[in-house]
Amino acid sequence: MRIVIAEDDALLREGMAALLRDEGFETVAAVGEVDALVEAVAEHRPDIAIVDVRMPPTYTDEGIRAVKQARRVRAGLPVLVLSAWVERSFATELMESGTSGIGYLFKGRVGRVEQFLDVLRRVAGGETAIDPEVVAQLFVRKHADDALSGLSTREREVLALMAEGMGNSAIAERMAVTDGAVHKHIRSIFGKLGLAPDDRSDRRVAAVLRYLNATGR
């Protein structure tokens, strides 16, 4: 797997590069600025990019904007975004940039090597993975729109796990139910959220975006 890293903290940047090298991955570029990220993606055509949300010069949303540019340069580029805080608007904006190959992870997870590498592989493989802590913090917020308020407790639990990027089998294992039960819950969620089958959209991603927007107001 060929990787580009964009992180302004030189110690963390080089640390990740060393970790990935030791685990058998190839870091083709490790940069500290967003322009350098876009250039590296254009030059190296990596399999995935790891990008910090807050980058120079303003340390606000440069990372997210750089991701959008990079995905225009290399369509469908899998991206794992790292953040030190829960930033719901960034998580939502990131997912709206594409329907696959998107990850949003707390920086602290990098030190949990197996978990970090698992998410990296999943995102590189085209999955969507949102940090469980991000989902948990959004889930406990009190406000929800009318559509989400109609979901049952189990359906909200399933939707929260979907927001983490879990597939049906993983959700079934976490909830100790059958795959069929999870499929039934998801079908009900789609119905209650008014998400009819449509070749132009991904209902799973649309449901997660609805969840993030509603729980993060």
Pick the more confident residue, 148 or 155. 155
- SS3 for the chain is CEEEEECCCHHHHHHHHHHHHHCCCEEEEEECCHHHHHHHHHHHCCCEEEEECCCCCCCCCHHHHHHHHHHHHCCCCCEEEEECCCCHHHHHHHHCCCCCCEEEEEHHHHHCHHHHHHHHHHHHCCCEEECHHHHHHHHCCCCCCHHHHCCCHHHHHHHHHHHCCCCHHHHHHHHCCCHHHHHHHHHHHHHHCCCCCCCCCCHHHHHHHHHHHHHCC
pLDDT of residue 216 exceeding 60: no
Stretch 161-168: mean pLDDT, rounded? 86
pLDDT of residue 133 exceeding 50: yes
Domain boundaries, the chain: 2-130, 136-215
Stretch 92-110: mean pLDDT, rounded? 74
0.85 exceeded by the pTM? no
Stretch 56-69: mean pLDDT, rounded? 85
pLDDT band at 143 (very low <50, low <70, confident <90, very high): very low
User: Would you say domain 136-215 falls under CATH 1.10.10.10?
Assistant: yes
Question: Taking all residues of the chain, what is their mean pLDDT, rounded to a whole number?
Answer: 83
- The contacts of residue 122 (CB under 8 Å, 6+ apart) are 103, 129, 165
Beta-strand pair 26-31/48-52: unpaired
Neighbour count for residue 198 (Cβ, 10 Å) = 9
pLDDT of residue 68 exceeding 80: yes
Angle, vertex CA 135, rays to CA 134 and CA 138, nearest 5: 90
Q: CATH number of the domain at 2-130, out of 3.90.850.10, 3.40.1440.10, 3.40.50.2300, 3.40.50.80?
A: 3.40.50.2300
